[in-house]
Amino acid sequence: MRSLQNTLLLFTLASLFLVGLASAQSNFDAKPSLIDLADKYARCAVFVKTPKHSGTGTLFTIPFNDSSGKGSVLVITAKHLLANKEDAEGNAVDYYDSALVMMRTKNGVIDTRHYVIDKLGSKDLDYAVLAPLDVLRPFSEYDAAAPSVNHDVMSLSDVKPGETAIVTGFPFLIGSEPVIPVIQSGILAYIDSVHSEVFLDIPVSEGSCGGPVSCIDKNDEVKLLGVVTEYHPTNREAAASKEKHEGKDAPASLGKVILLKSILTEYKSSQTTAH
């Protein structure tokens, strides 16, 4: 009888061990959560302001732009935020040569720094790269993160429609004063790999443009896909929308992603040409 009891005890302990091992393995293999997505890249969003517009900027470390090899921290934002003058249809015809960038320190102090335009995106890419004009303190003192484009950027081939996406920014300028960004979640609603177009089911409001878009790639790693901007419908789409909504413009329901791979390819080409 005692031998049978000992056998049952050993069997029970072994079963509990295997269950615990399986649970631990399951947790280890678990796909990153929304919290992981939000936590990793929320702090790379900064507030960008010009005399006419306000929005979001995304911090990046671009090693090939720095002779030291350690990388310089730049800001990518939406090009239209820097517009100084528009034509009758609202298209930018002139741009400011600089902008103010607000960043929060780890002690809660808000620094306002001057950044100059380093690169304006081509006609089809609504982005601008900003470089710091002044340095108020070491970057390590800011409550901010500057992902490296060599390690933290994903390709279009890494994602597919329906996957979760996180957008960080300042919609309706919420959180802009303390520089604490709003975090929104949604999905990749449409992907056109031929034309490198990606749309989100996350509405883009005033203040959101230029914010980072992060996703989980096929290797279950959290990375940046691009920056978000407002989708502008074609004349045909706008006419159809007005007809459907009795002459009124329909509210935007999609955000467009400017892919970081596209931005970096164009930016690096301009740096090579300049030198």
pLDDT digits over 130-176, tens only? 999 888 888 889 999 888 877 788 888 888 999 989 999 999 999 99
CA distance 18 to 143: 42
Q: Residue 265: is its pLDDT beyond 90? A: no
CA distance 139 to 147: 13
Residue 214 identity: S
Residue 40 identity: K
Q: Residue 267: is its pLDDT beyond 90? A: no
Is residue 22 one of the residues assigned to a domain? no
**Which strand (E) or helix (H) includes residue 32?**
none
Helices (H), the chain: 2-29, 34-41, 235-244, 260-274
User: Looking at residue 199, which CATH number applies to its domain?
Assistant: 2.40.10.120
- Neighbouring CB atoms inside 10 A of 24's CB total 10
Is residue 4 one of the residues assigned to a domain? no
- The answer to which of 14-18, 45-49, 157-161 has the lowest mean pLDDT is 14-18
CA distance 265 to 193: 16
Q: Residue 252: is its pLDDT beyond 50? A: yes
End-to-end CA, the chain: 87
217 pLDDT tier (thresholds 50, 70, 90)? confident
CA dihedral 135, 119, 79, 212 (to 10 degrees): -60
Is residue 52 one of the residues assigned to a domain? yes
CA distance 172 to 19: 49
Domain assignment of residue 79, given as a range = 34-274
Cβ pair 170, 55 in contact under 8 A:
yes
Is residue 9 one of the residues assigned to a domain? no
233 pLDDT tier (thresholds 50, 70, 90)? low
**Residue 274 corresponds to which tokens in the numbers above?**
């300049």
Bigger pLDDT: 120 vs 63: 120
64 pLDDT tier (thresholds 50, 70, 90)? low
Residues contacting residue 47 through CB under 8 Å, at least 6 positions apart: 54, 55, 56, 57, 101, 102, 170, 176, 179
Domain count, the chain: 1
Q: What is the pTM of this model?
A: 0.79
